[in-house]
Structure 1
């Protein structure tokens, strides 16, 4: 539901108030078009896809068998988000098929200094 989605993004956003470093991966059900997603990132969290400079990594839908009319992945709603000043940096990202789900997994390589 929309209320649960909004609350989840608010909860993630509240992590910025702590002086900790985060690496968060998952299905955010959000694209860059969602202002709430951009607000959640604020000025302390960054999206790995944006930082990698490789363009979008479409993660949904992944299994054409789930759809009445098969379509290729068209939106990036799965993300890897991390703390801006954490010493982490993303190398390359790729999507891979995971059996039994309608999302592609987003995998990344990281450097930690």
Structure 2
């Protein structure tokens, strides 16, 4: 489960930054991580790029298929922004990746096939 990654709207930037910083701090532990959810951030946010650092990758980037637009969904508007992400250690490889509409959600789900590589 992700920490609180509330939208970075007026008055909530510190909560949003704190949530992303706590994800970034996982790079200090000796575990293999796969972290997925609504990050409320894009590659345009330096804090998102910073949390990836030299250890983590974004599945969408690793898949090499371009962006996987997840928001908004289930509306007359097309999905035009990728704020949901699957972030994982570089030792995990992404295969197929796609978005799927979920009834009642304003976000599309990200589905991916992930495989841990041998150390």
The alignment's TM-score, normalised by the length of structure 1, stands at 0.90
1:2 counterpart = 2:13? yes
| Superposition pairs of residues 20-59 of structure 1, within 5 angstroms | 20-59=31-70
Higher RCO (CA 8 Å, separation ≥ 6 residues):
1
The number of equivalent residue pairs is 106
Distance, in Å, in 2 between the alignment partners of 1:63 and 1:99 is 7
* Structure 2 match to 1:109: 113
* Structure 2 match to 1:74: 80
* Structure 2 match to 1:89: 93
Query: Structure 1: any 5+ residue segments left out of the alignment?
Result: 65-69
Report the RMSD for the aligned CA atoms in angstroms: 0.9
Task: Please list every run of at least 4 consecutive aligned residues from structure 1 whose deviation after the TM superposition is greater than 3 angstroms.
Answer: none
Query: Structure 2: any 5+ residue segments left out of the alignment?
Result: 1-11
How far off is 1:98 after superposition?
Answer: 0.6
Please give the secondary structure, in 1, of the residue aligned with 2:114.
strand
How far off is 1:111 after superposition?
Answer: 2.2
How far off is 1:42 after superposition?
Answer: 0.4
